[in-house]
């Protein structure tokens, strides 16, 4: 399993836990992470990216854990992370920003610079490589963020709402990119369109607890009988988050 | 980030001309009348510290703000915190180095070719203080919003460097900052090493506080616990290093005690031998001629002939058969003769000056020596640099003494030298008080 949580407890404030004894193994392939706002999806992804440290419990990838200092560097090299809030270093161009993140992720400067243009090409921003990131639209900045997560060829991509702010055409391009990736992907989104075509697995989180974890077809089967084919994912989602206890396949 | 990117995007590009311009302006003004002597003139690197160190600190705070704004530390970086900091701070250090180099170049252009090299201790101190000011600025920039951190550190840092020099109690406070104000231009002394070590000790306290606070910021604890722990740890670091820095300088009363040069002087053999620092070598010939005129007259007045005349600092240890010269630039022949004559006077220690009542005047003794050396009263009145001999009120005392027999004059001289050296009253050297009217 690429990324696993073992009895993780975490809270931003001492008496307000977000996750309690949280345990899950994100399977290989492309996993979509669903849940209402405030469910804890961004927290789980940030913990998986080792940006946050659990209060207790462990986050593992292979034999590496985020709680052991000695493992942290190797762990982070293999994980790409796109946070929900995309920021850039002031005054950097698109290519410089992507290359800088590549360097942060352990690439040497030359390799990071050479690969940055390829990463921008994949998100169709190569023609804006020389433009300052701060002058770009929100959707374009989001794509810069995606390029940042692609530049260092990590084994696992953790993407927190990567399509937020993108127009339908950009979302389609993003899904095409996603389909062509070799890496394992865990992606949180509110966009459930094309679920079956794009993803292999679904995890639904609600109030810090897993309501569903399984394959896409098993998730879609949760939709009430008679649901229109185009609304299966949405119906299954609402069926899941209204459940009192976890529903796992 | 790449070199080209760092240089293109760094704030130093627009701040550098301002900083370097100020450094050049101040250095050019201060160095304009000084001899070409690096051991003294390198001090200007410390003297201009308030112009580039706060700029480095503010610039570092700005760069920290850029990284904070970009959320760099929330990207799960493989690079360590210090590597990330260095990636944006090396242009800051470059600015500091450029300021030091600008200062040195300006000194060189103003004073010409010197016989020695820039003082490595001063350069080391300046380099270390640049690093510490940068680290403190970066630390503050990581804590506060960029728009606040930059001006705050700029102003506070500048005030911390310049205010201590205006404070007279305690005097040692001015020694902690590295803002060197030692008397440069005096070619008989070099920089007191303690004046360099003490600011570095003080700065280390700040650096330790920043590093410890950075470690505490990583704790998984309540924010108030972290802030409290960082405050206590910083106070301990600052307290320990401040105490270490103050200890060696707590008795200093202004400028650091002079440190005599130890390199070999240039000398003219003869009787007496005349030795001066290499920077004053041009005066060796005229000085030797003057000594041939003056010394025999003083010996004729009963003084023990010297083996050597030396232009050295009062901090230098010399034997009893060496007379200590005092030279300055553009001396005429009569000035050289006066200097040779006055050099026969041994060092009179500074006695208690807690009262306004003066109980002895070494200027009278120096004036008598000049008279015995062959100078007339008009020439003596022009010697404002020579141990207060130029005071016109002393002429009447000297005239009275020179009417005594040679033995009585010599006895008067040796008696009053001894009294002044022992800080006892020497009324025979005092000019008569003007009569009180009414």
Q: What percent of chain B has pLDDT over 90?
A: 61
Q: What percent of chain A has pLDDT over 90?
A: 39
- Reported as a pLDDT band with limits 50, 70 and 90, residue A36 is confident
Indicate the range of A15-19, A131-135, B145-149, B423-427 predicted with least confidence.
A15-19
**Backbone angles phi and psi of B268, in degrees to 5:** -110, 120
Interval B124-163: pLDDT, tens: 999 999 999 999 999 999 989 989 999 999 999 999 999 9
Q: Indicate whether B386 pLDDT > 80.
A: no
Q: What is the pLDDT of residue B352?
A: 65
- Reported as a pLDDT band with limits 50, 70 and 90, residue A1 is low
Chain B residues lying within 8 Å of A104, measured CB to CB? 72, 75, 77-79, 84
Sketch the domain layout of chain B as residue ranges: 3-260, 266-348+360-429
- Reported as a pLDDT band with limits 50, 70 and 90, residue B382 is confident
Complex ipTM, two decimals?
Answer: 0.86
Beta-strand relationship, A201-206 and A30-34: parallel
Q: What is the pLDDT of residue B184?
A: 64
Indicate the range of A114-128, B153-167, B170-184, B220-234 predicted with least confidence.
B170-184
Contact B2, A97 (CB under 8 A): no
Q: How far is CA B270 from CA A75, B80, B140, B309, in A?
A: 80, 68, 64, 10
Interval B321-339: pLDDT, tens: 999 999 988 889 999 999 9
Q: What is the pLDDT of residue A247?
A: 43
- Is A76 in contact with B76 (Cβ distance < 8 A)? yes
Number of A to B CB contacts under 8 A, please give it: 71
Q: What is the pLDDT of residue B171?
A: 85
Interface of A with B (CB under 8 A): 14, 46, 49-51, 53, 55, 73, 76-77, 79, 81, 83, 85, 87-92, 96, 99-101, 103-106, 109, 113, 148
- Is B9 in contact with A83 (Cβ distance < 8 A)? no
Q: Indicate whether A246 pLDDT > 50.
A: no
Interval B174-210: pLDDT, tens: 899 998 875 566 889 898 999 999 999 999 999 999 9
Q: What is the pLDDT of residue B347?
A: 84
Q: What is the pLDDT of residue B404?
A: 93
Interval B283-313: pLDDT, tens: 999 999 999 999 999 999 999 999 999 999 8
Q: Indicate whether A89 pLDDT > 60.
A: yes
Average pLDDT over residues B362-386: 88
Indicate the range of A94-98, B65-69, B353-357, B404-408 predicted with least confidence.
B353-357
**Backbone angles phi and psi of A130, in degrees to 5:** -95, 5
Average pLDDT over residues A139-154: 89
- Give B146's contacts (C-beta < 8 A, 6+ positions apart): B61, B62, B64, B65, B66, B68, B69
Strand order in the sheet with A16-26: A16-26, A3-13, A56-61, A64-65
Q: Which of B267, B263, B256, B287 is nearest to B114 (CA)?
A: B263
Q: What is the rounded CA–CA span in Å between residue B76 and residue A49?
A: 6
- Is A113 in contact with B2 (Cβ distance < 8 A)? yes
Chain B residues lying within 8 Å of A100, measured CB to CB? 1, 5
Average pLDDT of chain B?
Answer: 90
Q: What is the pLDDT of residue A249?
A: 39
Nearest residue, CB atoms, A109 vs list B2, B69, B71: B2
Residue of chain A with shortest Cα separation from B76: A51
The H-or-E segment that residue B407 falls in is helix B406-421
Average pLDDT over residues B51-59: 95
3-state secondary structure chain A: CCEEEEEEEEEEECCEEEEEEEEEEECCCEEEEECCCCCCHHHHHHHHCCCCCCCEEEEEECCEECCCHHHHHHHHHHEEEECCCCCCCCCCEHHHHHHHHHHHCCCCHHHHHHHHHHHHHHCCCHHHCCCEHHHCCHHHHHHHHHHHHHHCCCCEEEEECCCCCCCHHHHHHHHHHHHCCCCEEEEECCCCCCHHHHCCEEEEEECCEEEEEEEHHHHHCCCCCCCCHHHHHHHHHHHHHCCCCCCCC
A39 vs B11, residue with greater confidence? A39
Interface of B with A (CB under 8 A): 1-2, 5, 8-9, 66-67, 69-72, 74-79, 84, 87, 220, 222
Name residue A10's beta-bridge partners: A19
Q: Which of B357, B272, B277, B370 is nearest to B316 (CA)?
A: B277
- Reported as a pLDDT band with limits 50, 70 and 90, residue A180 is confident
Q: How far is A116 from chain B (nearest CA, A)?
A: 12
Q: Indicate whether B437 pLDDT > 50.
A: no
Contact B345, B371 (CB under 8 A): no
List Cβ<8 Å contacts ≥24 apart for B396-399.
B396/B431, B396/B432, B397/B364, B397/B367, B397/B428, B397/B429, B397/B430, B397/B431, B397/B432, B398/B364, B398/B367, B398/B368, B398/B371
Name residue B259's beta-bridge partners: B190
Indicate the range of A96-100, B52-56, B182-186, B219-223 predicted with least confidence.
B182-186
DSSP B274: E
Average pLDDT over residues A140-167: 89
Q: Indicate whether A112 pLDDT > 70.
A: yes
Average pLDDT over residues B75-89: 92
Q: What is the pLDDT of residue B308?
A: 95
Tally of CB atoms within 10 A around B8: 14
Q: How far is CA B322 from CA A186, B275, B344, B346, in A?
A: 88, 10, 9, 10
- Reported as a pLDDT band with limits 50, 70 and 90, residue B26 is very high
Q: What is the pLDDT of residue B354?
A: 58
Roughly how many angstroms between the first and final C-alpha of chain B, as a whole number?
86
R_g over Cα of chain B? 28
Strand order in the sheet with B322-324: B266-268, B273-276, B308-310, B322-324
Q: What is the rounded CA–CA span in Å between residue B321 and residue B301?
A: 17
């Amino acid at each position: 399993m690429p990324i696993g949580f073992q009895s993780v407890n975490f809270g931003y404030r001492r008496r307000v836990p977000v996750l309690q004894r949280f345990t899950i193994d994100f399977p290989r392939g492309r996993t979509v992470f669903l849940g209402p706002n405030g469910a804890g999806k961004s927290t789980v992804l940030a913990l998986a990216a080792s940006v946050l440290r659990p209060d207790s419990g462990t986050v593992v990838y292979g034999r590496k854990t985020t709680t052991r200092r000695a493992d942290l560097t190797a762990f982070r090299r293999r994980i790409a992370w796109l946070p929900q809030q995309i920021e850039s270093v002031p005054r950097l161009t698109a290519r410089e920003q992507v290359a800088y993140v590549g360097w942060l992720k352990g690439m040497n400067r030359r390799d990071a610079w050479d690969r940055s243009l390829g990463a921008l090409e994949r998100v169709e921003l190569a023609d804006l490589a020389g433009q300052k990131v701060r002058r770009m639209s929100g959707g374009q900045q989001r794509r810069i963020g995606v390029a940042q997560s692609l530049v260092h060829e990590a084994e696992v991509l953790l993407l927190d709402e990567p399509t937020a702010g993108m127009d339908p055409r950009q979302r389609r391009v993003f899904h095409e990119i996603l389909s062509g990736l070799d890496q394992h992907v865990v992606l949180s989104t509110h966009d459930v369109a094309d679920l079956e075509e794009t993803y292999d697995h679904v995890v639904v989180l609600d109030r810090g607890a897993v309501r569903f974890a399984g394959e896409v077809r098993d998730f879609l089967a949760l939709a009430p009988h008679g649901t229109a084919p185009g609304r299966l994912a949405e119906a299954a989602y609402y069926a899941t988050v209204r459940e009192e206890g976890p529903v796992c396949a | 980030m790449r070199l080209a990117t760092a240089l293109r995007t760094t704030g130093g590009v627009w701040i550098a001309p301002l900083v370097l311009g100020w450094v050049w302006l101040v250095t050019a003004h201060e160095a304009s009348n000084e001899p070409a002597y690096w051991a003294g003139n390198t001090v200007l690197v410390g003297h201009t510290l308030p112009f580039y160190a706060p700029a480095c600190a503010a610039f570092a705070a700005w760069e920290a703000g850029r990284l904070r704004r970009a959320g760099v530390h929330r990207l799960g970086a493989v690079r360590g915190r210090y590597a990330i900091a260095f990636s944006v701070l090396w242009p800051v250090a470059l600015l500091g180095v450029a300021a030091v180099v600008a200062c040195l170049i300006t000194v060189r252009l103003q004073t010409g070719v010197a016989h020695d090299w820039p003082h490595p201790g001063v350069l080391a101190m300046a380099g270390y203080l640049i690093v510490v000011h940068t680290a403190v600025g970066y630390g503050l920039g990581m804590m506060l919003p960029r728009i606040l951190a930059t001006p705050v550190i700029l102003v506070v840092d500048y005030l911390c460097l310049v205010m201590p020099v205006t404070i007279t109690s305690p005097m040692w406070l001015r020694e902690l900052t590295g803002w060197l104000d030692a008397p440069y231009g005096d070619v008989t002394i070099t920089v007191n090493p303690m004046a360099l070590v003490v600011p570095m000790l003080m700065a280390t306290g700040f650096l330790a506080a920043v590093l410890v606070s950075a470690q505490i910021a990583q704790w998984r604890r309540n924010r108030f616990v972290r802030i409290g722990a960082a405050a206590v740890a910083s106070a301990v670091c600052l307290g320990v290093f401040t105490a270490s820095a103050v200890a060696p300088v707590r008795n200093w009363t202004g400028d650091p005690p002079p440190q005599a040069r130890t390199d070999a002087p240039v000398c003219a053999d003869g009787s007496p031998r005349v030795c001066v620092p290499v920077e004053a070598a041009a005066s060796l010939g005229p000085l030797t001629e003057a000594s041939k005129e003056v010394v025999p007259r003083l010996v004729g007045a009963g003084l023990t002939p010297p083996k050597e005349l030396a232009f050295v600092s009062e901090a230098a240890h010399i034997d009893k058969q060496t007379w200590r010269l005092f030279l300055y630039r553009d001396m005429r022949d009569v000035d050289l003769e006066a200097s040779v004559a006055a050099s026969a006077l041994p060092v009179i220690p500074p006695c208690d000056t807690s009262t306004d009542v003066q109980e002895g005047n070494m200027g009278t003794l120096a004036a008598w020596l000049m008279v015995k050396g062959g100078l007339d009263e008009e020439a003596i009145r022009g010697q404002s640099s020579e141990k207060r001999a130029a005071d016109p009120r002393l002429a009447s005392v000297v005239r009275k003494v020179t009417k005594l027999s040679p033995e009585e004059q010599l006895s008067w001289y040796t008696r009053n030298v001894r009294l002044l050296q022992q800080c006892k009253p020497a009324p025979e050297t005092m000019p008569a008080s003007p009569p009180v009217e009414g």
